[in-house]
Amino acid sequence: MRHTMRSLTAVACIALCLVLAIIPGASGIGGDEGWIRVDCNVNGASVYLDGEYKGETAGGSLTIPVYTTGTPHQSVTVEKSGYTSYTGAVTMPAADETTTVYATLNPIVTPTPVSYGSISVSSQPSGAEIYFNGDYRGLAPLVISDVWPGSYTIRAEKSGYQTYSTTARVSSGIMTSVYCPLTKHETSGALYVLSTPSNSNVYLDSAYQGSTPITLNNLASGSHILEIDHAGYYDWKSSVSVPAGGTRTVDATLNPMPASTTGWIYVSSSPGGASVTLDGSPKGETPSSGSLKLNNIATGSHTVTLTRPGYQPYSATTSVSPNTVTEVSAILQPATTPSGTGGLTVTSTPPGANVFLDNTFMGISPLTLSSVATGDHVVSLRLDGYQEYSVTTPVNAGAVSTVSAALTTITPAPTPRSAMLPAAGLLALFLVALVVIRRKP
């Protein structure tokens, strides 16, 4: 029995040696041990070595034992829901040593959606003019919608009352209420406004009040802006103080504008490109669209003349008033065809032929000739590879004659028979000589 146990033990040792020899790296398992320590700012974070789960951090770290003789680890990953993940390289420790990896996880911040708010504005008394950051929005009570969260200035104004201003804080999705209690001006006064010339327009704080002479009653005491204007005069504008419980007289003298002695003439034509003269002096050409602007033209009567080749001259007398634009619009008429001439249109098939009129080269077909003397003319067309075409055509005064030519190709001439005989004779003599040579012994 003891002999049998020894035999079994020996067999087991041999088998273990064979396994260690056959399995690569098996000799490293259970070898020297080291540790990888993962320090993390978050507890409960999962730690993975080369994708293999190793545990969770507690107390700020997790220590992982590793075999220094085994396959080296390459990377460590630390992650936790609600935080950004960390992945980094790993340095393998030596036997009985520890390497440390520092992993910092940052919380994932989910932005809070921001929505508009609104402001409800009321005033006492109601009907005050409401300004939102200086912009007029209407009369109280009113609601100002679609306001981005933040702080804004609300101002309320009403005639006879002191201006009220406050700051409103708007939050997302919330309506902010603003109440504007207005305080009445303790006293009021009046203005009596005169002007030279009279019947001038009067504006107080930019609001039209009427024409001079005029009395403005029930005005809030204090400073106001008074403006007076009249056609042909410079505006009068000044700050005036309204006395409490009294009336102030304002007598404004307006300064006349200097009288103008010039005006403008705008000249246009159809078609454009016409030369323009004013009282015989050249001024330029009319554009294809719009007008030629003549500036600083003395008041009074002027003669405007337009000329363009191929069109009849145009002339008009116009009057210029001070500071006034006078328009001259000319529709130009084509010039009449001169007596004793007409037109001639020449086409050919194919096109591109040289066109001669009475043996004088005129151009390439298709071609239109104008101002051709009346009477009969000889029209010739010449094109390489085609027979010359010639025809006599009449030209009538004020009319257009037409010549349409279908050109004929030139056929190559056949080779004359007389030219072929010498060649045939020579060929016959050559054949006879060949036969004689072959018969000789």
Write the pLDDT tens digit of every residue in 7-36: 444 444 444 444 344 444 333 444 689 999
**Do residues 54 and 62 make contact, with C-beta atoms less than 8 angstroms apart?**
yes
**Do residues 408 and 347 make contact, with C-beta atoms less than 8 angstroms apart?**
no
Please tell me what DSSP assigns to residue 279: T
Sheet of 262-270, strand order: 292-298, 262-270, 325-331
Q: What is the rounded distance in angstroms from the CA atom of residue 402 to the CA atom of residue 240?
A: 87
Q: What is the rounded distance in angstroms from the CA atom of residue 191 to the CA atom of residue 240?
A: 9
Q: What is the rounded distance in angstroms from the CA atom of residue 250 to the CA atom of residue 121?
A: 39
* 374 exposure class (CB count in 10 Å sphere: 0-12, 13-18, 19+): middle
Q: What is the rounded distance in angstroms from the CA atom of residue 370 to the CA atom of residue 43?
A: 103
Residue 224, CA distances (Å) to 29, 85, 164, 191, 240 in order? 99, 69, 18, 10, 5
Please tell me what DSSP assigns to residue 126: S
Q: How sure is the predictor about 70, in pLDDT bands with cuts at 50, 70 and 90?
A: confident
- Give backbone dihedrals phi and psi of 374, rounded to 5 degrees, phi first: -65, 155
pLDDT of residue 3: 44
**Do residues 213 and 201 make contact, with C-beta atoms less than 8 angstroms apart?**
no
**Do residues 141 and 123 make contact, with C-beta atoms less than 8 angstroms apart?**
yes
Q: Residue 204 forms beta bridges with which residues?
A: 207, 226
pLDDT of residue 180: 95
**Do residues 294 and 267 make contact, with C-beta atoms less than 8 angstroms apart?**
yes
Q: How sure is the predictor about 63, in pLDDT bands with cuts at 50, 70 and 90?
A: very high
Q: Going by C-beta distance under 8 Å and a sequence separation of 6 or more, which residues neighbour residue 13?
A: none
Q: What is the pLDDT of residues 370-383, one digit of tens each?
A: 888 888 999 999 99
Number of CB atoms found within 10 A of residue 50's CB: 13
- CA torsion 272-275-278-279 (nearest 10°) is -140
* 20: enclosing H helix or E strand: helix 2-22
pTM: 0.27
**Do residues 154 and 131 make contact, with C-beta atoms less than 8 angstroms apart?**
yes
What's the angle, vertex CA 128, arms to CA 123 and CA 132, rounded to 5? 90
**Do residues 165 and 157 make contact, with C-beta atoms less than 8 angstroms apart?**
no
Q: What is the pLDDT of residues 195-243, one digit of tens each?
A: 999 999 999 999 999 999 999 998 888 899 999 999 888 999 999 999 8
* 191: enclosing H helix or E strand: strand 188-196
Q: What is the rounded distance in angstroms from the CA atom of residue 56 to the CA atom of residue 44?
A: 5
Token pair for residue 38? 């993962």
pLDDT of residue 23: 40
Q: What is the rounded distance in angstroms from the CA atom of residue 50 to the CA atom of residue 73?
A: 6
Q: What is the rounded distance in angstroms from the CA atom of residue 171 to the CA atom of residue 151?
A: 9
Residue 249, CA distances (Å) to 131, 205, 212, 217, 252 in order? 33, 17, 12, 12, 10
Q: What is the pLDDT of residues 258-306, one digit of tens each?
A: 777 888 999 999 999 999 999 999 999 999 888 999 999 999 999 999 9
pLDDT of residue 427: 61
Q: How sure is the predictor about 68, in pLDDT bands with cuts at 50, 70 and 90?
A: confident
pLDDT of residue 49: 93
pLDDT of residue 419: 44
Strands 214-220 and 188-196: antiparallel
pLDDT of residue 441: 42
